[in-house]
Amino acid sequence: MKIFIPLVINSIKEIVRQPFYYVILISGCFITLMSFTFTFFAFGEEARMIRDMGISTITISGLLTGCLSSSILIANEFERQTALAVLCKPISRIHFILGKYFGIFAATTALIFCQGLILEIALAINKYANISNDITFTLSLVDYYCLLGIYFSLLQILILTAISLVLSMYLNTAANLIVCFVVFIFCHTFSYILPFNGLSLNFMNIIISICYIILPNLQNLNMVAISDIANSSAFSFLEGTILTYIVYNSIYCIIYSIVIIWLAVFLFKRKEIV
């Protein structure tokens, strides 16, 4: 822990010193606040539009931050050959990868927290305006659907940051971003592009089954799934259904991230640094 914690803190400091971090942070907050201008003709769906746009912005901002941070902390260190200087100290390659990963995720979590706070404030303002106009009545200005969406965004970033970390050992920043966005989009639309038919066992279904196992299941964490939960009569944080859904997806994302990080450590141990 004496080696690991300083690595995490140093990674966080290195990320928050980068200009892109504040550009993404401010841009995401600005887009969230600008969502008010798109709700004039929503006819009672203002909160949903603000929530959907805000959570989508938060997810994209987290993905950009994770990919760019991985390229800076891993790929650029290989190019500048500073990684070799770090590994010359009593620091194992496992600690190096884990320190970078948790540093990236901590910095990205801070960015998502700030943007999520702005989104909650925007939704609270919208609710307060509706209460003042006697359109709707509520005792709480906290949007629990929004909190669930932000949490699911963090779970997506947990996986995509791990994937970006692996890619950063072999790809530059531009290629890393392109591959991560392709994975992000493909994993959100995979079941629509290649639907699985479990009743027939043929070669195509076997390939699709392997893809379902290997690729992360991000469709359970997107806005469509959140909307289905929000519209469900069982939506309550005291109900077993929603708690089971949250716990299941949390465990899945954690296990998947651990596997990807293990792969990153495995590849990094066999990578020659010159």
Domain boundaries, the chain: 4-269
Please report, to the nearest 10 degrees, the dihedral formed by the alpha carbons of residues 100, 104, 109, 114 taken in order: 140
Please report, to the nearest 10 degrees, the dihedral formed by the alpha carbons of residues 152, 158, 164, 169 taken in order: 180
User: What are the structure tokens assigned to 211, written together?
Assistant: 């893809």
pLDDT higher at 271 or 197: 271
Q: What is the rounded average pLDDT of the residues 26-41? A: 78
Q: Do residues 61 and 107 make contact, with C-beta atoms less than 8 angstroms apart?
A: no
In this prediction, residue 163 carries a pLDDT of: 92
Q: What is the rounded average pLDDT of the residues 37-49? A: 67
Q: What is the pLDDT of residues 150-170, one digit of tens each?
A: 999 999 999 999 999 888 888
For a pLDDT cut of 90, what percent of the chain falls above it?
22
Closest CA to 199 of 190, 208, 187: 208
pLDDT higher at 255 or 140: 255
In this prediction, residue 160 carries a pLDDT of: 92
Burial degree of 125 (CB within 10 A; 0-12, 13-18, 19+) = middle
Residue 112: Cβ within 10 Å count: 23
In this prediction, residue 1 carries a pLDDT of: 63
Q: What is the pLDDT of residues 227-250, one digit of tens each?
A: 666 665 455 554 556 778 888 889
123, 196, 198 from 206: Cα distances, Å: 45, 9, 9
Closest CA to 231 of 242, 217, 220, 247: 242
